Amino acid sequence: MGGREGGRLGHRDGESATVRVAPPAARAMIGRGGDPMQQDPGRGGLATEGAVGFMNGLDALFLYLESPETPMHVGSMHVFEPPAGGGEGFAAAVRAHLAARLDRADVFTRKLAPMPLGIANPAWVRAAEVELEHHVRRMRLPAPGTLAQFHDLVGSLHARPLDRSRPLWEMVVVEGLQDGRIGFYAKVHHAGLDGQAGVALAQAVYDVVARAAPAPLGAPVSTVATSGHEPGAARVAAAGARHNAAQLLGFGARLPALLRSVAQAVGPALGRQPAAGAAGAAGAPEATGGAGALLGGEGLLAPRTALNASISRRRAFATLSVPLARARAIAHRHEASLNDVVLAACGGALREWLLARDDLPAESLLAAMPVSLRRPGDTTSNTQAMMARMTLATDIADPVERLRRIRDASGRIKGALRDVKSAVPTEFPSLGLPWLGNALAALWGRGRLANRLPPLANVIVSNVPGPAVPLYLLGARMLHYWPVSIPYHGVALNVTVQSYAGSLDFGLIACRRAVPDVDALATLLARAFDALDADAARASDARPPSDAPPATTAPAPRRRRAAAPKADR
């Protein structure tokens, strides 16, 4: 495969091998007298100085928000058809496969280099070697190997933070699934990529055609020696000092223009009014101008529910797959977008879940939704996103009316975001930011402020466009691509959906204490799609895993505002 240089594995029989790789892009730069860490700024690459790459402000925030209770990595859970010859040795084959492809994504080889005393954002440097036996592991489920068992394993794996002394990614090959299928779980720190960059990373790992697994070359690959050399702490500190000084000077010079662009962008958004009759027709609040659009058409604060609490380290995970054509048909029938349908289904599921707990507020729940700031064609492995708020219309019992409310509200907020997002900076001076960020995150988590302060949003809902064609790993076809994202203090549930090969694959990840029955919530999400589908009686093909326990339906209790949850013990 491409990317391997030399083709010789220096080892004795029976030993694991070290492969030396000089990525093609690095070799080209070295040939020009350049450095392998440098990238073309015109393509959205990281700011660099020599072998030191500088983390942007949004990426660094994910490091400061991290704690033992809130690891800040994103991941995915996959099921593959049984590979040719069975799954024996599949993990070793994956290591060899990745060893040949480490050049295809920076996230595979770069690691953090902290600044002295944590005075500024860490830098990225290329690791001298990548120990694949650490990054790619093998596990086996006990019999009978159900999907529910796989869910539990993913919840446990996703709760464990990544090792910051290594490149910030891990993969696990999971054997023992029913029917001989292979499970796969991968995670990458959010400081290294957002959802769209994650899709680009998947393109580096998977194929769009079924390529046969290569014949093994001697001993299993354990370590890859890269073309990089890790600069010393003094060099990193000096480069960081120069970069931060330039940042401060540049930010000061750009500040007047930035303020003008923000005023020009936010002014029209705040002044925009909804189309005449739109609010009344949808049953939305009357007074929702541009400012209301920016806030999701609702008030400044969200109503409190059991989801809005400080969270523990334990995670619960569940999945659901819905045919993409079915969801699009619902959207077309109601002149809505696919994203509107996803939000309406989430609103319906959460309404029923909260009703069963006697915890449904009179006001609608609000969802925080990531909005990409990425320019077309930019595949840089970093974070370029902002958060918007959307109503879930959980105060509306009728599913179609709920969808219409969301459709009208999303139309207003899309217009506001078009004005605003071009003015949102992703980079800003970082001197002192680690101290401030870590202190605020510690105060928020250890002080359990999420239990005391009113929430800004109730749940995170994210919709990531994925590949339209099937993907393959070592010739095995991927059947599902379920995302696994991040809950946080105050938002104990994250629902992320990714389109894949004609399917909408939902991953529901939650704090296990706040949502112990996340599988039942997945069942309710399937029923919410049924309720939105006029043909649900004849075509109910959105199903949660067959081995998940069925949802229970409780009589509708009195709706009330939930009391503040109790702190962890």
Residues forming the active site: 190
- Tell me which residue of 64, 95, 69 sits closest to 315, measured CA to CA: 69
- Measured in whole angstroms, how far is the alpha carbon of residue 177 from the centre of its chain? 25
Q: What is the DSSP letter of 207?
A: B
- Interior CA angle at 489 toward 486 and 492, to 5°? 60
From residue 99, alpha-carbon distances to 203, 210, 492 in Å are 15, 19, 37
Q: How far, in Å, CA of 355 to CA of 565, rounded?
A: 17
Q: How many angstroms separate the Cα of 398 from the Cα of each of 230, 330, 344, 351, 468?
A: 59, 15, 11, 11, 32
Edge-to-edge order in the sheet of strand 476-484: 136-140, 169-175, 182-189, 73-80, 476-484, 472-473
Q: Which of 425, 424, 391 is nearest to 410 (CA)?
A: 391
Going by C-alpha positions, the residue among 5, 53, 50, 9 that lies closest to residue 27 is 5
Give the DSSP H/E element, type plus range, for residue 260. helix 233-271
Q: Are 559 and 362 in contact (CB under 8 A)?
A: yes
CB 116 within 8 A of CB 431: no
Task: Measure the CA–CA gap between 201 and 108, rounded to whole angstroms.
Answer: 9
